[in-house]
């Protein structure tokens, strides 16, 4: 079992994420049964690790060295919902390829987890909660901002009606 760096003392099932914390090293976790990786900002710098990706979806404000697709939006309640939806649409298209894909944000915890879980849910016709469980099995500290969860569920409801 991997260490869980942000657990509450005495209760290993409670994950606490310090605000604005980012690992100093690249975080790269692969989702099971897919060529899809979730990472932090350092994962998008190929000089910092030995992994390469055909597609890198960056959700950070600035493009990163390996960025091939860039959809920045804030990790807060005032995020740009249209940018979130565009990021999910891009992620869905990338999931349909057989290429290695990295989806990353600053910490690899909120925005990337929300976009990836939403794309998985839409592509695999499952609930957001089930798709987030897949993401969290790969990255237990994945904890999307509640406003991003609301946007994700709204996106899925709209696409389900199509």
User: Can you list the alpha helix ranges (DSSP code H) found in 62-145?
Assistant: 81-95, 111-124, 128-138
What's the DSSP call for residue 41? G
Q: Does a structural domain hold residue 9? A: no
The angle formed by the CA atoms of residues 84, 88 and 92, to the nearest 5 degrees, is 170
Domain holding 97: CATH number? 3.90.190.10
| Structure confidence by residue, pLDDT tens digits, 53-112 | 999 999 999 999 999 999 999 999 999 999 999 999 999 999 999 899 999 999 999 999
Count of domains observed in the chain: 1
Residue 103, both tokens: 């989806």
Residue pLDDT, tens place only, 50-65: 999 999 999 999 999 9
pLDDT in tens, 151-162: 999 999 999 765
**Mean pLDDT, range 25-47, rounded to an integer:** 93
In a domain? residue 8: no
Does residue 6 form part of some domain? Answer: no
- In angstroms, the CA 114 to CA 84 distance is 9
Q: Can you give the residue range of the structural domain that contains 72?
A: 24-161
- Give the DSSP letter of residue 48: G
Average pLDDT over residues 21-45: 91
User: Does residue 17 sit within a domain?
Assistant: no
């Amino acid at each position: 079992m991997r260490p869980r760096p942000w657990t509450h003392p005495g209760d290993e099932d409670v994950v606490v994420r310090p605000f604005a914390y980012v690992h100093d090293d690249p975080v790269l976790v692969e989702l099971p049964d897919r060529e899809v990786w979730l990472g932090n900002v350092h994962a998008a710098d190929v000089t910092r690790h030995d992994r390469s990706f055909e597609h890198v979806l960056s959700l950070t404000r600035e493009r990163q060295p390996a960025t091939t697709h860039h959809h920045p939006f804030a990790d807060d309640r005032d995020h740009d919902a249209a940018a979130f939806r565009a990021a999910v649409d891009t992620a869905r298209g990338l999931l349909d390829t057989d290429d290695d894909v990295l989806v990353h944000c600053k910490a690899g915890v909120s925005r990337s987890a929300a976009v990836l879980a939403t794309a998985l849910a839409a592509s695999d016709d499952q609930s957001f909660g089930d798709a987030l469980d897949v993401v969290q099995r790969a990255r237990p500290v994945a904890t999307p901002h509640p406003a991003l969860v609301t946007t994700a569920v709204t996106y899925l409801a709209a696409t389900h009606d199509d």
